[in-house]
Amino acid sequence: MKRAERTKLLIEVGRELALQLAANICEQYDVQEISPPKEGLVMIKMRETAQKSLFYIGEVLVTETKVKIGNHYGIGLVKESEPELSKALAIIDAAYEAQLPETILWIPHFEALAQQLHINQQQIKRSIERTKVNFDTMAT
Amino acid sequence: MAYVAVRGGAEAIEASLEHLQYERVKEGAYVAVETLQATMRGFLDQVMSESSLYSEQLAGLAMKQSEGNVEEAIFLLRAHRSTLPRLYYSTTTDARNMFVLRRISASFKDIPGGQILGASHDYLHRLLNFDLLQETAADVVAQKAEFEAIEVPDESELPLENLPKVMDYLRQEGLIREFPENDAEPSDITKESMAFPTNRSQRLQTLTRGQTGTVTSLGYAGLRGYGASHPTVGEVRVGWQSIHVAMDDEDDPYYIGAIKLTEVESFIPVNVDSEDKQVLEFDIGYGACFGQNETKAIAMSIVDHALETGGDTPIHDEEFVLLHVDTIESTGFISHLKMPHYVTFQSKLEQMRTIKKEGKSL
């Protein structure tokens, strides 16, 4: 699983799972905190559609944590002030970087999260579909 | 004339600040930041857009602290932002991948994916709802449950995460000029002050963080004849935009969350030279901003086009537009007029008295 998908699932629908997985790793491995959760900014680079050039639309508040398991570093980066989640994401990232055997066991968890995200998105789509204009039904 | 430092206001200022704090609490009412975040969506979106800082938590806090004073809330956020390190730049964000919550076109009735109204104030009668005076927390919960119980389709095929752009079809017909992707690194007005003439990235960055009222007024002026841009809105889309940050590997970035954006393309007819004759094409005016700020984004698209094309009226003048749209710069300079100007005013006064006494003219 790619990192973008993994981090999206954990941030959008897997907060509790992230905290739990990170706690399990901390019980079994020596996790060093390289940089504690700290707030900072990410500047967002945007592609505009008129001339397809790039510009900066603004900054988003993020929380970043860096940890190390053995010789492998992990980074947790999430929008808003989220110290706990940021640290958990960093530990999970380091676990994947270190290719810890636990990560193999996490596959079903991530499959469940992917299913949950799909359900959530379907729920939004099904509701928003009611607001789609059907011109054919307009009175003439 | 020498300047003379004076003191004596410290205690009065301290008391003034105490009065300010008292104004916020004197009714004995309390509102949680979470409540503001949950119920003041429009205010939060405007404040995040003008402060150029996306954080619903901080915008809610700024709103509470400033008692709903928009310019003060933005000042607080810009000040706080200046204390935070810039950790990363995102990978290129493209609103084609937005998870759309609302998307409409004023140019075409039938658009691929359809007109999706989403949640909007546009279709209200603008009558005060006096029932809200009596609304309780239980009423809110009941109304939420009522909405969630409405029957909806079992499945939805709406491709909200990759809706096509309306303008693509005009581009395919050759009615809109095609541009190659330009990956030149944008300028950053928060790092380096603008010098004139500006480049496109500086103009867009300045407009997107511009004061909503000012950008809207300039767009309106453009429509009323103080500009040459008369657009039809090609597409307004509002939705959740995923943001990614890449460290070492561009192909394996971190997802950091989604932010709400509004993006607009306006179609503006222009005459262009083609093989020794004039033909009519459409230019695109572009607008985008944090949150659901549709009026601002549409106005931005008008001003963007005006600045791109040039002209004799004020909204084509980039110095006039770009140096006056920023909330902090404009409110800061205007409100500084309240600060003591005793010495400079006394100097002018003395000058006038002398001239009057001597019967001279300036």
Where exactly are the structural domains of chain B?
10-81, 95-121+158-325
What is the residue type of B285?
A: G
Lowest mean pLDDT among A103-107, B195-199, B272-276, B332-336: B272-276
Closest residue on chain A to B250 (Cα):
A4
Cα of A119 to nearest chain B Cα, Å: 10
Closest residue on chain A to B153 (Cα):
A126
Element (H, E) at B123: none
pTM: 0.94
State pLDDT tens for residues B100-114: 999 999 999 899 899
Closest residue on chain B to A12 (Cα):
B257
Using CA atoms, how far apart are residues B241 and A66, in angstroms rounded to an integer?
25
B 60-89 → A contacts, CB under 8 A: 81, 84-89
Using CA atoms, how far apart are residues B142 and B129, in angstroms rounded to an integer?
17
Q: Which residue has the tokens 């954080």?
A: B55
**Total number of domains in chain A:** 1
Establish if A112 belongs to a structural domain.
yes
- Chain A residues lying within 8 Å of B252, measured CB to CB: 2-4
Residue B291 pLDDT exceeds 90: yes
Using CA atoms, how far apart are residues A50 and A15, in angstroms rounded to an integer?
38
Q: Exposed, middle or buried: residue B83 (CB in 10 Å: 0-12, 13-18, 19+)?
A: exposed
Q: Identify the pLDDT of residue A140.
A: 47
State pLDDT tens for residues B111-158: 989 999 999 999 999 999 999 999 999 999 999 999 999 998 888 999
The residue range of the domain holding A22 is 3-123
Cα of A53 to nearest chain B Cα, Å: 5
Cα of A20 to nearest chain B Cα, Å: 19
Establish if A49 belongs to a structural domain.
yes
Establish if A134 belongs to a structural domain.
no
Average pLDDT for residues B190-200, to the nearest whole number? 96
Closest by Cα among B326, B262, B257 to B289: B262
Q: What is the ipTM of this complex?
A: 0.96
Confidence band of A62 (pLDDT split at 50, 70, 90): very high
- B354 sits in the region (left: phi over 0; alpha: psi -120 to 50; else beta) called alpha
Q: Identify the pLDDT of residue B274.
A: 76
Of the partner residues B91, B252, B286, the one whose CB lies closest to the CB of residue A48: B286
Establish if A135 belongs to a structural domain.
no
- Chain B residues lying within 8 Å of A45, measured CB to CB: 89-93, 186
Using CA atoms, how far apart are residues B45 and B192, in angstroms rounded to an integer?
26
Establish if A131 belongs to a structural domain.
no
Closest by Cα among B233, B220, B238, B236 to B306: B220
Q: Identify the pLDDT of residue B3.
A: 61
Cα of A37 to nearest chain B Cα, Å: 13
Q: DSSP of A53-110, one letter per residue? A: -EEEEEEEEEEEEEEEETTEEEEEEEESS-HHHHHHHHHHHHHHHTT-THHHHTHHHH
Residue B5 pLDDT exceeds 80: no
Average pLDDT for residues B170-174, to the nearest whole number? 87
What's CA B288's distance to the chain center, in Å?
8
What are the CA-CA distances from residue B152 to residues A62, A117, A122, B163 (Å)?
Answer: 36, 18, 11, 21
Establish if A21 belongs to a structural domain.
yes
B232-245 and B86-89: which strand pairing?
A: unpaired
Closest residue on chain A to B208 (Cα):
A57
- Chain A residues lying within 8 Å of B254, measured CB to CB: 3-4, 7, 75, 77
Average pLDDT for residues B61-86, to the nearest whole number? 97
Taking a C-beta distance cutoff of 8 angstroms, is the pair B76, A102 a contact?
Answer: no
